[in-house]
A and B are shown apart, each in its own frame.
Chain A
Amino acid sequence: MIHDLLSAADLDADSATLILDTAVEMAAMADRDIKKLPTLRGRTVVNLFYEDSTRTRISFEAAAKRLSADVINFSAKGSSVSKGESLKDTALTLQAMGADAVVVRHQASGAPHRLATWVDGRVINAGDGTHEHPTQALLDAYTLRSRLGGIAGRHVAIVGDVLHSRVARSNVLLLHTLGAKVTLVAPPTLVPVGVSEWNADVSYDFDAVLPSVDAVMMLRVQRERMGEAYFPSAREYSRRYGLDPVRVSRLPEHAIVMHPGPMIRGMEITPEVADSPRSTIVEQVANGVAVRMSVLYHLLGGFK
């Protein structure tokens, strides 16, 4: 198995499939009364979060605890970081404390890669800037596989703020590895430069893509990363790229609606669609714990 999980591109089809298969067994455990396995007893997992996060941090924490690892949560607010400590010094502190794995979220793209060069333990990227979020891609793949019965040959549309989305980037990489076809749908201003290098088609017309997809993955419009105007108004954005019941009715009957969360109801997705049976939004959160357990197991299980 790989040493660190920094990018969805670190995984080949076999490794990704192994992680997803193990996650199925991990998910079965969630139905039991005792949701605990002794597998990672004595290992220490540090959650190092420089950026706000609820679901990812809680999900990693639950995953590590269910495998009996010790969890140390470190958030930049209220730590020495606010006194000016650098990422490197924080990393060396964690190293000295004997962290076997560091789960890191950072506002700067590439921070986990740097961190991996400073610590001996395993590093798992839990989202870095606008770059990558590999465990989100894995849980999305898990959700797609369990709902659609497979990934190879399926068509997935990733819709919205692709430019600022680490979820989109990781998903394009992983879905391509697993044999799916991906279409990115976004206004031209929210399509990243160099997208022609990605293994994905690009469309500016959501309605034209709808009839041929097996899944629609909606992205949040990341206002906090937008310094300038990328589209004229929220209303115009919603009208052209939002998912409402009319658009859902044009999807094939089996197609599912996904969103990595947090979602902005009324912006990229209407409440009726978000709460409909075709939406897998809550399921994705539950799958996240199983997938992260699997990742921790495979990275830490045999690590001395």
Chain B
Amino acid sequence: MGYPASSASAASPSTQGKTILETGDIGRIIDRIAHQILEKTSGARDVVLVGIATRGVPLARRLVERISTFESVDVPLGVLDITLYRDDLRLRGARSVGHTEVPPEGIDGRRVVLVDDVLFSGRTVRAALDALKDIGRPRAVQLAVLVDRGHRELPIRADYVGKNIPTALTESVKVLLTETDGRDAVVLQEETA
């Protein structure tokens, strides 16, 4: 059978290209976003962090860890796989479905912060919002991303942005994380056809 691995979540993307963020930069960004979340939500009260698979999950886990270090609050962590909510299944074919894990506390009445690596067209976030709606009714939903590369196709914006990176549509942004790729980096590459 063999599905073609999607370019965004290939197991080991090639790392040639221009490095935009290094390990230290990513660490500082995570620290800053953790502080911003604490500030904007009165000390992370009722907050649930939900990582969007694949690379949003380790990012969300790091944020949970930083938040608990800064203010010693335990923020519940959820995992969302949006494969079954994608709007391009018909075009790109059925793919293997990842794991979704709702935190035991649920998300009803909570402030959910969705976490993803790259904000691009906004379609992943739209799918994530649809998925959340089937899991429960949060009081509010916010969005945290490591990189915003522009080119939105939907009226969606992020509440917490690690770095805005202006890109051309012919370029691609690769986020590498230690948990999934062995090291931390954000690389800008020219898309090869």
Chain A's interface size range is 20 to 34
Asked if residues A304 and B84 are in contact (CB atoms below 8 Å), the reply is: no
Asked if residues A28 and B96 are in contact (CB atoms below 8 Å), the reply is: no
Residue of A15, A18, A300 ringed by the most chain B CB atoms within 10 A: A18
Q: A300: which B residues are within 8 A, CB to CB?
A: 94
- Alpha-carbon separation in the docked complex, A82 to B193 (Å): 57
- Alpha-carbon separation in the docked complex, A299 to B94 (Å): 8
Q: Which residue of A lies closest to B102 (CB)?
A: A32
Q: A39: which B residues are within 8 A, CB to CB?
A: 84-85, 89
Asked if residues B134 and A18 are in contact (CB atoms below 8 Å), the reply is: no
Q: Which of A69-108 contact B (CB under 8 A)?
A: none
Q: B89: which A residues are within 8 A, CB to CB?
A: 39, 301-302
The size of the chain B interface, using a CB distance under 8 A, is: 22
- Cβ distance A43 to chain B, nearest Cβ, rounded Å: 9
Asked if residues B92 and A302 are in contact (CB atoms below 8 Å), the reply is: yes
Asked if residues B96 and A37 are in contact (CB atoms below 8 Å), the reply is: no
Asked if residues A22 and B97 are in contact (CB atoms below 8 Å), the reply is: yes
Asked if residues A302 and B93 are in contact (CB atoms below 8 Å), the reply is: yes
Tell yes or no: A194 within 8 A of B by CB.
Answer: no
Interface residue from B92, B96, B136 paired with A18 (Cβ < 8 Å): B96
Asked if residues B94 and A301 are in contact (CB atoms below 8 Å), the reply is: yes
- Cβ distance A230 to chain B, nearest Cβ, rounded Å: 40
- Alpha-carbon separation in the docked complex, A298 to B2 (Å): 12
Q: B85: which A residues are within 8 A, CB to CB?
A: 37-39
Q: A12: which B residues are within 8 A, CB to CB?
A: 1
Tell yes or no: B140 within 8 A of A by CB.
Answer: no
- Alpha-carbon separation in the docked complex, A73 to B11 (Å): 42
- Alpha-carbon separation in the docked complex, A38 to B98 (Å): 16
- Cβ distance A67 to chain B, nearest Cβ, rounded Å: 8
- Cβ distance A55 to chain B, nearest Cβ, rounded Å: 24
Q: Which residue of A lies closest to B93 (CB)?
A: A302
**Binary B-proximity of A10-38 (CB < 8 A = 1, otherwise 0):** 00101100100110011010001110111
Asked if residues B93 and A301 are in contact (CB atoms below 8 Å), the reply is: yes
Q: Which of B123-157 contact A (CB under 8 A)?
A: 130, 134-136
**Binary A-proximity of B86-123 (CB < 8 A = 1, otherwise 0):** 00011111111111101000000000000000000000
Tell yes or no: A241 within 8 A of B by CB.
Answer: no
Asked if residues B134 and A32 are in contact (CB atoms below 8 Å), the reply is: yes
- Alpha-carbon separation in the docked complex, A14 to B96 (Å): 11
- Alpha-carbon separation in the docked complex, A32 to B136 (Å): 9
Q: Which residue of B lies closest to A301 (CB)?
A: B94
Asked if residues A25 and B94 are in contact (CB atoms below 8 Å), the reply is: no
Interface residue from A15, A36, A37, A304 paired with B1 (Cβ < 8 Å): A15
- Cβ distance A184 to chain B, nearest Cβ, rounded Å: 29
Q: A298: which B residues are within 8 A, CB to CB?
A: 94
Asked if residues B94 and A297 are in contact (CB atoms below 8 Å), the reply is: yes
- Alpha-carbon separation in the docked complex, A219 to B60 (Å): 49
- Cβ distance A292 to chain B, nearest Cβ, rounded Å: 14
Known pairs A18-B1, A39-B85, A39-B89; A34 contacts B96 (CB<8 A):
no
Tell yes or no: A193 within 8 A of B by CB.
Answer: no
Tell yes or no: A1 within 8 A of B by CB.
Answer: yes
Asked if residues A25 and B93 are in contact (CB atoms below 8 Å), the reply is: no
Q: Which residue of A lies closest to B99 (CB)?
A: A25
Q: A28: which B residues are within 8 A, CB to CB?
A: 100
Asked if residues A25 and B134 are in contact (CB atoms below 8 Å), the reply is: no
Q: B81: which A residues are within 8 A, CB to CB?
A: 25
Interface residue from B90, B91, B135 paired with A32 (Cβ < 8 Å): B135
The 4 closest A-B pairs by CB, nearest first: A301-B94, A302-B93, A39-B84, A302-B94
- Please name 13 pairs of A and B residues whose Cβ atoms are closer than 8 Å in the assembled complex, sorted by A: A1-B1, A1-B93, A15-B1, A22-B96, A25-B99, A26-B97, A33-B136, A38-B84, A38-B85, A39-B89, A297-B97, A301-B93, A302-B94
Other A-B pairs, 11, CB within 8 Å; known A26-B97, A32-B102, A33-B136: A2-B1, A14-B1, A21-B97, A25-B98, A32-B134, A34-B134, A34-B135, A36-B134, A37-B134, A301-B93, A304-B90
